[in-house]
Amino acid sequence: MTAARSRDRATWGTVREELRARGMRWTPQRRQILQVLAATDGHITGSELLERCRKLDPATTPSTVYRTLDVLEELGVIRHSHGLDGREEFHVQPVAEHGHLVCSSCGASREIDAAQAAPIARAFRRTHDFDIFLDHLTLAGRCAACRAAQAG
Amino acid sequence: MTAARSRDRATWGTVREELRARGMRWTPQRRQILQVLAATDGHITGSELLERCRKLDPATTPSTVYRTLDVLEELGVIRHSHGLDGREEFHVQPVAEHGHLVCSSCGASREIDAAQAAPIARAFRRTHDFDIFLDHLTLAGRCAACRAAQAG
DNA sequence: CGCCTTACTGCAACTCGTCGCAGTTGCATC
DNA sequence: GATGCAACTGCGACGAGTTGCAGTAAGGCG
Ligand SMILES: [Mn+2]
Ligand SMILES: [Mn+2]
Ligand SMILES: [Zn+2]
Ligand SMILES: [Zn+2]
């Protein structure tokens, strides 16, 4: 984990106040989930998060973890996209908005930043009057290496 | 269901020979699944297919249906993309290759045809040497109506 | 037609995730 | 510090989908 990629301490600390401001509660379970997320770089699935929480507290239950992920996404603290298998993958914030480009053959994954996605967003805005959510975008396809390997 | 959108009788009929050619077998279960798919317009999920098969034969089992979907996708008879919830949605062939544009707020969905996707495909081919699979693409976002509704 | 190989089916157990409900607890207020 | 309300947790049942395995049957061949 690098400081550049994860929410800094001060930002994570505001979650408690963001919850209170909405009439929601700060519980030991939520504190622990946030602690694990703060130590996570990049992406994490619900079941991975559950597993890591259970290392700290084996009594952690699935429903609490999944419901907390929903709450945190409503607050904007995390966002999700989907892997090739369709499972949700959560991003900790405030990483720059980005999509993913994944090779169906080898699983290699690259991020698509806002600049790269801008032409696509503009095209659908113009032709369909539709705003694309880059954070939710996963493009599947075949990378150069896999295309070359199969070409023979 | 319209003739224009579903695989015609002759094309569905070739599936039996395509299976045989690969050393696979033509079974009553597969015949029935294909019968349901032939009567399906547009998209269908695995559990929807299971449910429809069970109307014809209540003894239909999940594993056979899901495994048959895998086989048919390998043969190229169907393809899948993912709904906003991540679940697989199968397309019967030979519908023209297309992606989807789905509004996260109201669920409205439009198809993206090859012509509309061509600029995107070209861009990623050029900048990342990566071939996009249009059939697998689902773009999430917000439609004009929902944007207007929320603007106030 | 009957045999044999092996693809396939159905089952049971499992994973991931969701949901209603009853009991618990955060936290605001006095 | 005690009280009370509602948000939250944990439970148990459930839905969707996957997988190993043992028994079944498709279909090629004699
Ligand atoms: Mn997929
Ligand atoms: Mn999603
Ligand atoms: Zn690859
Ligand atoms: Zn909409």
Distances from the Cα of B14 to the Cα of A44, B11, B44, B134, angstroms:
43, 5, 21, 25
Residues A48 and A75 in one domain: yes
Q: Which of A42, A73, A92 is the last residue of a domain?
A: A92
Lowest-confidence range among A7-21, A131-145, B87-101, B105-119? A7-21
> Best of B85, B139, B143, B146 to disrupt the A interface by mutation (most A CBs within 10 Å)?
B139
Residues in chain A within 8 Å Cβ distance of B103: 130
A88 alpha carbon, closest ligand: 2
Measure, in angstroms, how far nucleotide C8 C1' is from residue B91 CA: 24
Residues A83 and A103 in one domain: no
Name every residue whose Cβ is closer than 8 Å to that of residue B6 and which is 6 or more positions away in sequence: B38, B39, B40, B41, B92
Name every residue whose Cβ is closer than 8 Å to that of residue B59 and which is 6 or more positions away in sequence: none
Q: Which residues in chain B show pLDDT less than 70? A: 1-10, 94, 151-152
Torsion over CA: A32, A35, A40, A44 (sign): positive
- Tens digits of residue pLDDT in A41-85: 889 999 999 999 999 999 999 999 999 999 999 999 999 999 999
User: Does residue A4 register a pLDDT over 90?
Assistant: no
A29/chain B closest Cα distance in angstroms: 26
Q: What is the pLDDT of residue A125?
A: 94
* Interface size, chain A vs chain B, as Cβ–Cβ contacts under 8 Å: 77
Sole residue written with tokens 């579903």: B6
Residues A47 and A102 in one domain: no
Residues B36 and B105 in one domain: no
Q: What is the pLDDT of residue B3?
A: 43
Residues A134 and A70 in one domain: no
Please state the pTM of the whole predicted model. 0.90
Residues B71 and B109 in one domain: no
Residues B124 and B88 in one domain: no
Strand (E) or helix (H) holding B113: strand B109-113
Enclosing domain of residue B42: 3-92
Let me know: does B39 contact B48? Beta carbons within 8 Å.
no
* CATH assignment of the domain containing A106: 3.30.1490.190
User: Does residue A1 register a pLDDT over 50?
Assistant: no
Residues A108 and A84 in one domain: no
Name every residue whose Cβ is closer than 8 Å to that of residue B68 and which is 6 or more positions away in sequence: B29, B30, B33
Count of domains observed in chain B: 2
Residues B80 and B125 in one domain: no
B71 touches strand C (CB under 7 A): yes
Least Cα distance to A132 among A119, A145, A143 occurs for A119
B47 touches strand C (CB under 7 A): no
* CATH assignment of the domain containing B68: 1.10.10.10
Q: What is the pLDDT of residue A8?
A: 56
Residues A132 and A59 in one domain: no
- Residue B21 backbone phi and psi in degrees, to 5: -60, -25
Q: Which of B92, B122, B139 is the last residue of a domain?
A: B92
Tell me the C-alpha distance between B88 and B46, whole Å. 7
A interface with B, Cβ–Cβ below 8 Å: 82, 86-88, 101, 103-104, 110, 116, 119-120, 123-124, 127-133, 136-137, 139-144, 147
Residues B39 and B8 in one domain: yes
Tell me the C-alpha distance between B80 and B103, whole Å. 19
Express as a percent the part of chain A with pLDDT over 70.
91
Tell me the C-alpha distance between A44 and A53, whole Å. 12
First-to-last C-alpha distance (Å) of chain B = 40
What tokens does B69 get? 């979907």
Q: Which of A73, A92, A111 is the last residue of a domain?
A: A92
Q: What is the pLDDT of residue B78?
A: 95
Residues B87 and B25 in one domain: yes
